[in-house]
């Protein structure tokens, strides 16, 4: 019986994910009663405004604005914008009073910005512009209490801060990406070399698959790993260790997003934004289309040259390319990340690609079978870095190792040691 092709497996996976998504949407879309009429929604919203109940204004206003936006009349759409602006204003006031969070300020700002961009020259567009400035100030004040904000602010200050806005803000993103990559570089190196060492076992693993199946195949595979001191988790553990570093820097930069509005970068400035509205960002705190496209390209390049297990390399590259394209679309539509974030990610992707390219051209030492004594001391795996070199005299550097990747097999009785080719 022939095995399903990799392409058909991917198609099946996509179909399953689509079916689950549709089922969830169908389930979430169900309600236990008739939807309230637009008259009822308006009545509830006006009652909340009359009572000056901030929470109720936000709750009822969102429902009312969403219903008005679906209307075909221009008057209803204009009223929807007015309600949306009022809701955003209430959220901003909650943030100012201490009842709202920094994330709520970000959500409010994005909503106001979308109103402004729909018609910047209109009366409501100008009101939205003024409200954007107030909301940014409220979010900035809330963020200043966090450690992440103070850290990024310190880095920006190293390069001139507000006195050098054309350099300090964007270079802070580049500098942070470099620092993070330097910190995780050794672990990433171990991860990539671990993958390359796993590749050396592929011929023997393929041979096992022709002889065994199911549980027996798993047992034989684990014994093969133990024989050569390979830890199958060696390519995963460094990634798990470095994730908190990436996550913390991401959160720190996120808390500084309103301050990034003080910075510019090459084409990212007020004049370019006015000449090309919706394409170029006026500052580093806004989304910039060219940078989003460059970010997508950097992700695709990184996926193409990443060090992967040969058994899953094609699928991993397809997933990487698909992820890059997906995030490009998301950043252009529903997730308008600030340009400073994109400069950080593009720099990080470039450095990761450089490291992947260097490791892909690196010669790794051959794998050596462990002695019975070593097997008894460590019956499972030899650790994250198996013993190098055919002589078995301890770890040696990659550069000094023999330029061969052939695993050394058992020395047969009465014969010489052979290498699997």
The rounded mean pLDDT for the chain is 74
pLDDT digit string, tens, across residues 137-176: 888 888 888 888 899 999 999 998 888 888 999 999 999 9
pLDDT digit string, tens, across residues 239-257: 677 778 878 888 888 889 8
pLDDT digit string, tens, across residues 98-128: 877 888 888 888 888 888 877 888 888 888 8
pLDDT at 34: 55
User: SS3 of 408, please?
Assistant: strand
Are 263 and 169 spatial neighbours (Cβ–Cβ below 8 Å)?
A: yes
Report the pLDDT averaged over residues 66-95. 81
Q: What phi and psi, each to the nearest 5 degrees, are found at residue 231?
A: -100, 110
pLDDT digit string, tens, across residues 343-384: 998 998 899 888 888 877 777 777 676 666 666 565 455 444
Which is more confident, 86 or 33?
A: 86
pLDDT at 201: 75
Are 329 and 155 spatial neighbours (Cβ–Cβ below 8 Å)?
A: no
Looking at the chain, the whole-number percentage of residues with pLDDT higher than 70 is: 73
pLDDT at 167: 92
| pLDDT band, residue 204 (cuts 50/70/90) | confident
Query: How far is it between the farthest Cα atoms of the chain?
Result: 97
pLDDT at 329: 83
pLDDT at 221: 76
pLDDT at 33: 47
The pLDDT of residue 387 is above 70: no
Which is more confident, 173 or 49?
A: 173
The pLDDT of residue 39 is above 70: yes
Report the pLDDT averaged over residues 25-48. 64
pLDDT at 312: 61
Are 196 and 362 spatial neighbours (Cβ–Cβ below 8 Å)?
A: yes
pLDDT digit string, tens, across residues 293-324: 998 888 888 877 776 556 566 777 777 777 77
Contacting residues for 353 by C-beta, under 8 A, at least 6 apart: 298, 301, 302, 305
Are 188 and 238 spatial neighbours (Cβ–Cβ below 8 Å)?
A: yes
| pLDDT band, residue 136 (cuts 50/70/90) | confident
pLDDT at 174: 93
pLDDT at 398: 36
The pLDDT of residue 385 is above 60: no
Where does 1-100 have alpha helices with state H? Answer: 6-28, 38-51, 54-69, 74-97
The pLDDT of residue 397 is above 50: no
């Amino acid at each position: 019986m022939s095995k399903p092709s990799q392409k058909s497996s991917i198609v099946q996976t996509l179909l399953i994910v689509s079916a689950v998504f549709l089922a969830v949407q169908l389930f979430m879309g169900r309600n236990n009663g008739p939807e309230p009429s637009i008259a009822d929604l308006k009545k509830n919203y006006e009652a909340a405004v009359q009572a000056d109940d901030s929470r109720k204004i936000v709750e009822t206003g969102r429902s009312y604005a969403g219903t008005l936006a679906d209307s075909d009349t221009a008057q209803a759409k204009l009223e929807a914008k007015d309600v949306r602006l009022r809701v955003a204003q209430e959220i901003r006031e909650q943030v100012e009073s201490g009842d709202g969070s920094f994330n709520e300020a970000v959500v409010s700002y994005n909503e106001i910005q979308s109103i402004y961009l729909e018609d910047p020259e209109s009366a409501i567009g100008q009101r939205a512009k003024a409200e954007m400035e107030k909301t940014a100030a409220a979010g900035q004040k809330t963020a200043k209490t966090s450690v992440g904000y103070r850290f990024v602010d310190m880095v920006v200050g190293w390069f001139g801060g507000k006195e050098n806005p054309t350099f300090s803000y964007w270079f802070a993103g580049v500098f942070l990406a470099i620092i993070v990559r330097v910190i995780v570089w050794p672990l990433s190196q171990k991860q990539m070399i671990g993958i390359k060492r796993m590749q050396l076992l592929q011929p023997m693993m393929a041979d096992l698959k022709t002889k065994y199946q199911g549980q027996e195949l798993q047992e034989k595979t684990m014994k093969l790993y133990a024989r050569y001191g390979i830890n199958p988790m060696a390519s995963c553990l460094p990634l798990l260790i470095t994730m908190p570093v990436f996550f913390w820097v991401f959160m720190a930069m996120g808390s500084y997003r309103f301050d990034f509005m003080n910075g510019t970068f090459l084409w990212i400035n007020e004049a370019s934004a006015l000449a090309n509205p919706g394409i170029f960002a006026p500052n580093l705190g806004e989304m910039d289309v060219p940078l989003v496209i460059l970010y997508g390209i950097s992700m695709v390049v990184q996926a193409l040259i990443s060090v992967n297990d040969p058994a899953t390399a094609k699928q991993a590259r397809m997933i990487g390319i698909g992820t890059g394209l997906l995030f490009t679309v998301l950043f252009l539509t529903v997730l308008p990340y600030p340009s400073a974030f994109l400069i950080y990610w593009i720099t990080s992707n470039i450095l990761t690609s450089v490291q992947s390219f260097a490791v892909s051209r690196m010669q790794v030492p051959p794998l050596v079978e462990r002695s019975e004594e070593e097997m008894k001391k460590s019956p499972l795996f030899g650790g994250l870095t198996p013993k190098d070199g055919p002589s078995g005299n301890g770890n040696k550097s990659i550069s000094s190792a023999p330029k061969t990747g052939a695993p050394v097999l058992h020395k047969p009785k009465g014969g010489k040691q052979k290498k699997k080719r």
